[in-house]
Amino acid sequence: MASGPTITWDDTVLPFQLDVSDIRGRVVRLDGALDEILSQHVYPPQIEALVAETALLTALIGQSIKLRWKLSLQVRGKGPARLIATDYYGPSDEGEPARIRAYASYDADRLDPEASAYSQVGEGYFAVMLDQGAGMTPYQGFTPIAGNSLSDCAQTYFAQSEQLPTRFALTFGKSQMPGQAAQWRGGGVMLQHMPQVGQSVASPEGSGEGGLLTHTDILAGEPAENWTRVNALLDTVEELELIGPTVAPTELLVRLFHEEGPRVFDATPVHFGCSCSAEKVHQTMSIYSQKDIAHMTTPEGIVTADCQFCGAHYEFDPKTLGFEAKKAEGDAE
């Protein structure tokens, strides 16, 4: 049996289409990337679970969009898990990997060790943010925290904001291959019905929590029958099939959807990666005055900054920071 780091489908997102039912989808496997995301911090188990689920959702959604730059997901709640934030950067060139990063902010003393991970979020919202780069208007979409998982929130977002029936099946956890150290593995499937010409919502009254639309409220007629049938097939998937490591994504699709005519496309590799830099910290600090910078200066006479995503540590001379420093540099030129 192949060892974890050498499995060819580790850290990939595989697009597919079910020709019989007019449904597209993605299969994700995050293994080394998920392990690296979670190794940046020492999170309690419930926070690890929330970060892992959000990272899988981000990779699936990010790969399903014609992405020029960055897709971000944010989960903000009033519970102990205050913030789960992820970024997915599309490949910069053909053949290059996508990059993903994630972190969480939480109140450790408020965590309930007996409660589920999802319940630690509490009341709040699930946000999808799309930034296609310079010259493009950023997009933000929100949906309330609802349902029984972050996957349910993502499904509600697509139903409510995009009117696209969307379904996720995810699993994650630590596993150990023979002769290998235990490491995080995650996997999942995303289904999405292709947009219909002249499509209208079949049920104006949403069947979800608080009257929100769900993926079952949108389609009618034959498309609805196809969607129900394919979802029933997805319901038969086993956790070990989703997570691997012995079942390839292509084999998984054949097991689940062989009668639906599955057709696969080129997979996208996904690596852990951070976009932080000293230059970006300088840019962030440019809004502050020297008086503000003085309050940030340590007794040792430096200003420090740590990246919440990757833990990178930066140190600066306070005289080089702030808008007054920039102005002085400009005057000297």
- Mind listing the pLDDT tens digit for each residue in 126-137? 999 999 887 888
How much is the pLDDT for 42?
93
How much is the pLDDT for 93?
83
Which residue range is the domain that position 296 belongs to?
278-332
Q: Pick from 141, 162, 148: which is nearest to 213 by CA?
A: 162
Do residue 257 and residue 289 come from a single domain? no
**CB-side exposure of 59: number of CA atoms within 13 Å?**
37
Do residue 104 and residue 225 come from a single domain? yes
pLDDT of 304 strictly over 90: no
Distance of alpha carbon 274 from alpha carbon 311, whole angstroms = 10
Do residue 63 and residue 136 come from a single domain? yes
Domain presence at residue 57: yes
How much is the pLDDT for 305?
84
The pTM of this model reads: 0.87
Domain presence at residue 262: yes
Tell me the pLDDT band of 199, cut-offs 50, 70 and 90.
low
The single-letter code of the amino acid at 283 is: Q
Do residue 40 and residue 175 come from a single domain? yes
Question: Residues of the chain with pLDDT > 90: what percent?
Answer: 59
Tell me the pLDDT band of 201, cut-offs 50, 70 and 90.
low
Distance of alpha carbon 239 from alpha carbon 118, whole angstroms = 19
Tell me the pLDDT band of 333, cut-offs 50, 70 and 90.
very low
Angle at 71 (CA atoms; ends 45, 196), nearest 5 degrees? 110
pLDDT tens readout for residues 20-49: 999 999 999 999 999 999 999 999 999 999
For 34, the 3-state DSSP assignment is: helix
Distance of alpha carbon 245 from alpha carbon 239, whole angstroms = 11
Do residue 286 and residue 320 come from a single domain? yes
Among 243, 272, 301, residue at a domain's last position? 272
Domain presence at residue 244: yes
How much is the pLDDT for 3?
39
Tell me the pLDDT band of 203, cut-offs 50, 70 and 90.
low
Tell me the pLDDT band of 293, cut-offs 50, 70 and 90.
confident
Do residue 222 and residue 157 come from a single domain? yes
How much is the pLDDT for 204?
59
Do residue 90 and residue 216 come from a single domain? yes
Q: What is the mean pLDDT of the chain?
A: 88
Do residue 126 and residue 268 come from a single domain? yes
The single-letter code of the amino acid at 89 is: Y
Q: Pick from 325, 330, 331, 332: which is nearest to 293 by CA?
A: 325
Do residue 114 and residue 236 come from a single domain? yes
CATH number of the domain that 179 lies in? 3.55.30.10
pLDDT tens readout for residues 78-127: 999 999 999 999 998 888 899 999 999 999 999 999 999 999 999 999 99
Domain presence at residue 4: no
Of the listed ranges 50-59, 117-126, 308-317, the one predicted with least confidence: 308-317
User: In terms of pLDDT, which residue wins out, 194 or 329?
Assistant: 194
**CB-side exposure of 291: number of CA atoms within 13 Å?**
0
Question: 41 phi and psi, to 5 degrees?
Answer: -140, 165
**CB-side exposure of 20: number of CA atoms within 13 Å?**
11
pLDDT tens readout for residues 271-288: 998 888 888 888 888 888
Tell me the pLDDT band of 51, cut-offs 50, 70 and 90.
very high
Domain presence at residue 1: no
Q: Give the residue-averaged pLDDT of 162-175.
A: 93
Number of domains in the chain: 2
pLDDT tens readout for residues 211-226: 888 888 889 899 999 9
Domain presence at residue 237: yes
The residue count of the chain comes to 333
Do residue 143 and residue 238 come from a single domain? yes
Region of 289 (left: φ > 0; alpha: ψ -120 to 50; beta: rest) is: beta
Domain presence at residue 309: yes
How much is the pLDDT for 80?
98
Question: For residue 118, how many other CB atoms are within 10 A of its CB?
Answer: 23
How much is the pLDDT for 170?
98
CATH number of the domain that 316 lies in? 3.90.1280
Contact assessment for residue 186 and residue 168, using Cβ atoms and an 8 Å cutoff: no
Domain presence at residue 69: yes
Do residue 183 and residue 292 come from a single domain? no
Among 272, 294, 324, residue at a domain's last position? 272
Helical segments of the chain, H only: 32-39, 45-63, 150-157, 221-234, 239-243, 249-257, 278-285, 290-296, 323-332
Among 250, 272, 294, residue at a domain's last position? 272
Do residue 137 and residue 56 come from a single domain? yes
pLDDT tens readout for residues 241-260: 999 788 999 999 999 999 99
pLDDT of 184 strictly over 60: yes
